[in-house]
Amino acid sequence: MPAPPLTDDAPMLVYDGDCAFCSRSVQFILRHDHVKSARFAARDGVAGRAVRERHPHLLKVDSLIWVETREGRETPLVRSDSVLAIARYLGGGFALMAAVGGVVPRPLRDLAYDLVARVRRRLAFGGEVCVLFTDEERARSLS
C-alpha cells in the first residue's frame, strides 16, 4: 500500500538518488534554503516511489519532481516547471530569475531542461552520488 499523501504545506523535492549532478543540486538547495522547510526524497526511495504511485503519470518521468502541497492537495511539477518552482521557493535573486524564466514558453524551457538532463551525469565531474545530509538536514530527508 503506498504511503499517504503529504499532510503539511512543506514542499518536497524528489530527485535521482543515483546521480551526482542531482545530489549537487540538492546540496545547492540546502545551502540557499532560508525557509528550511523543503524535504527531500530519492526517486527510488519509499517516499519518492509513493509520490510517483499517487501520480501515475510520473512513473516514467525522468525529471526532478517538486511537490507542492496546499490544503492536503499535492501538485507535482516536473522539468523546467520544477526548476522555476524551486527558484521561487528559494526567493531573492532566484525568485527574480524564476520570474524572468517564466516568460519563456514552456516548450523552450523544457528543451533546455532536457539538454542538461541528457548530459547531467557528465556535468557532475566525479562528484559524490550520495547526498551527505547534516543531522539537521537529515530530519528533512524522507526515506
Parse the chain into domains and list their residue ranges: 12-133
Q: Residue 127's pLDDT band (boundaries 50, 70, 90)?
A: low
CA distance 143 to 132: 14
The CA distance from 43 to 52, in Å, is 8
Q: Mean pLDDT, to the nearest integer, of 6-27?
A: 83
40: left (phi over 0), alpha (psi -120 to 50) or beta: beta
Span 36-86, pLDDT tens digits: 889 999 999 999 999 999 999 998 888 899 999 988 889 999 999 999 999
**Would you say how long the chain is, in residues?**
143
Q: Look up the pTM and report it.
A: 0.84
Span 86-124, pLDDT tens digits: 999 999 999 999 999 999 999 999 999 999 888 877 765
Q: Cα(16)–Cα(21) distance, rounded to whole angstroms?
A: 9
